[in-house]
Amino acid sequence: MRGVLAAAAVSLIITLLGTPIAIRILVRQGYGQLIRDDGPTTHQTKRGTPTMGGAVILIAVLCGYLAAHLVLRDKSPTAPALLVLFLMTGLGLVGFLDDYIKVSKQRSLGLRSKAKLAGQSVVALIFAAGALRFEDYRGFSPASTEISFIRDTGFQLGTIGFVVFAYLMIAATSNGVNLTDGLDGLATGASAMVAGAYVLIGIWQSGNSCLPNPAVPQPQCYETPAPLDLAIVAAAVMGACFGFLWWNASPAKIFMGDTGSLALGGVIAGLAITTRTELLLVLLGGLFVLITVSVIVQVGFFKLTRRRVFRMAPLQHHFELVGWQEVTIVIRFWIIAGLFVAGGLGVFYAEWVAGV
């Protein structure tokens, strides 16, 4: 628990104190957000707001994790946690390149779609391949080739099937967070809630590990390698998001950009894969799913009928055009995100209680 608290505290402090420094540097360099002309007209007032703030989140998470292991001198970093951090950092770098091209070239298009997809694919595939290696002393690898919900379901994908599944999951989650990042603080707050859920999941799995323990019912134990170290990663992400939210809340002084949204989506997907809760993420990250589905429905329905279901997609922009204030939308969507997270944790705990 000391490591979890240290990771959360250090990452929180770094984003709280470091973000204003980043804002001044980005303003001095002229790295301001470009606003699409086809977006809500109210967003034009945000033009020039510093972006690429996700770099602060990324640095804070890495420092928080390092600080936790300085506190836990007798505990070494583990392969599952390092793989998740690699996934977060790799996708963050892809997003950083995208953001940098946008602000340096002063255009709304950053990396070409093929280049961006290639970057995401390389990082995701390296993570997926690595997650099936680096077995611990019990013979458990960071990820399993079985599809998981609360734990492995027994449905085998095989090595190639798992790599494809992991890639699709990472792409879907990172792009889901990216689509959610359209209003001040919306994606940051929702990501903090999901990360907080994985703190609790990691701690619970650690306390109910399949290591020999007469107090733990063996049919209900968890085979997750290094769950407490994954909880440390999640705590660092949660702390970093809360600290960044102080400056990202409406009216935002800085945006996370693709640097932050792709990184946060990646770390959330990585935590789901390594904690064996892949399908549970659909519920825990329900807000991201809802917003992504709104885009799919809008595009698909328009192609079929040349008509729109929503005034604008993603979903949050529909409510802007309906007349809701931005702060109202963000708070109500946070409530929805919180309900999804609470529901997911309820299902997670209920499954354990039902099997005892």
Spatial distance between the Cα atoms of 126 and 64, rounded to a whole number of angstroms: 24
Spatial distance between the Cα atoms of 3 and 205, rounded to a whole number of angstroms: 16
- The confidence band for 101, taking pLDDT boundaries of 50, 70 and 90, is confident
The radius of gyration of the chain's CA atoms, rounded to the nearest angstrom, is 20
pLDDT tens per residue across span 195-235: 999 999 999 999 888 776 555 556 778 888 899 999 999 99
Say yes or no to pLDDT of 13 above 80. Answer: yes
* Mean pLDDT value across residues 115-143: 89
pLDDT tens per residue across span 296-342: 999 998 888 888 888 998 998 999 999 899 999 999 999 999 999 99
Q: Which amino acid is at 19?
A: T
Spatial distance between the Cα atoms of 163 and 23, rounded to a whole number of angstroms: 38
Say yes or no to pLDDT of 280 above 80. Answer: yes
More confident residue, 12 or 211: 12
Spatial distance between the Cα atoms of 340 and 284, rounded to a whole number of angstroms: 5
pLDDT of residue 29: 80
Q: Tell me which of 39-43, 152-156, 283-287 is least confident.
A: 39-43
More confident residue, 105 or 28: 28
More confident residue, 42 or 108: 108
pLDDT tens per residue across span 134-176: 887 777 789 999 999 998 888 999 999 999 999 999 999 999 9
DSSP β-bridge partners for residue 156? 146
Question: Between the CA of residue 228 and those of 24, 105, 161, 208, what are the distances in Å?
Answer: 36, 43, 28, 11
pLDDT of residue 114: 85
pLDDT tens per residue across span 49-81: 888 899 999 999 999 999 999 987 767 889 999
Q: Give the mean pLDDT of the chain.
A: 89
pLDDT tens per residue across span 179-194: 999 899 999 999 999 9
Mapping DSSP to helix (H, G, I), strand (E, B) and coil, where does residue 155 land? Answer: strand
Q: Measuring CA to CA, which residue among 66, 280, 29 is closest to residue 173?
A: 280
Say yes or no to pLDDT of 355 above 80. Answer: no
pLDDT of residue 71: 87
More confident residue, 113 or 131: 131
